């Protein structure tokens, strides 16, 4: 029940905007929001679960480096088993025409809820996302990530997840 409420709230928040189209043309689009859903720990039949998440990127903080265009990201994901992960980290962006390749690394705090015990509260998420430009301000993508505690806990089972992403600049 709570999973459905969160999904509905995120969708409403994401698609409802008070900025008119004319104002949008006059403003530089500085914030990117990523709403995603998928399967948490799809490789573990016993503890796999659907997930929904939300991520923010402030494009004013992008920096061109020898590693590519880097920017900070912050987000949260929640599974249908009430597990949650709150994270902040960095992503790189590489563009090949309309295709975007976006690897990221984000340490964060994990709460297992009724979901999988990952062995520690501190977890590290490594992710790669492939997305296509739908317009100047929208993208659709697919991402894969791995959560691991880097053997900080007594156990380190990890979790592999995949997601479908909708990204929108505002």
State pLDDT tens for residues 83-134. 999 999 999 999 999 999 999 999 999 999 999 999 999 999 999 999 999 9
- Structural domains of the chain, count: 1
- Count Cβ atoms below 10 Å from residue 20 Cβ, excluding itself: 9
Residue that has been written with the tokens 């791995």 in this structure: 146
In-domain check, residue 24: no
In-domain check, residue 119: yes
In-domain check, residue 106: yes
Name the residue range of residue 55's domain: 2-17+31-169
Task: With a cut of 90, say whether residue 25 has pLDDT above it.
Answer: no
In-domain check, residue 55: yes
CATH number of the domain encompassing residue 56:
2.40.160.20
Task: With a cut of 70, say whether residue 161 has pLDDT above it.
Answer: yes
Residue with the bigger pLDDT between 170 and 39: it is 39
What is the C-alpha to C-alpha distance for residues 122 and 23, in angstroms, rounded to an integer?
Answer: 41
In-domain check, residue 162: yes
In-domain check, residue 22: no
């Amino acid at each position: 029940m709570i999973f459905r409420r969160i999904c509905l709230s995120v969708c409403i928040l994401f698609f409802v905007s008070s900025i008119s189209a004319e104002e949008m043309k006059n403003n530089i689009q500085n914030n990117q929001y990523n709403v995603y859903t998928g399967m948490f720990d799809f490789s573990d039949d016993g503890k796999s679960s659907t997930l929904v998440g939300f991520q923010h990127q402030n494009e004013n903080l992008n920096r061109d480096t020898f590693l590519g265009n880097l920017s900070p990201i912050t987000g949260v994901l929640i599974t249908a088993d009430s597990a949650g992960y709150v994270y902040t980290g960095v992503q790189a962006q590489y563009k090949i025409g309309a295709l975007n390749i976006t690897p990221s690394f984000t340490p964060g705090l994990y709460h297992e809820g009724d979901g999988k015990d990952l062995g520690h509260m501190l977890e590290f998420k490594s992710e790669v996302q492939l997305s296509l430009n739908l317009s100047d301000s929208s993208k659709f993508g697919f991402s894969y990530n791995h959560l691991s505690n880097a053997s900080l806990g007594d156990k380190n089972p990890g979790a592999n997840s995949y997601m479908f992403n909708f990204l929108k600049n505002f």
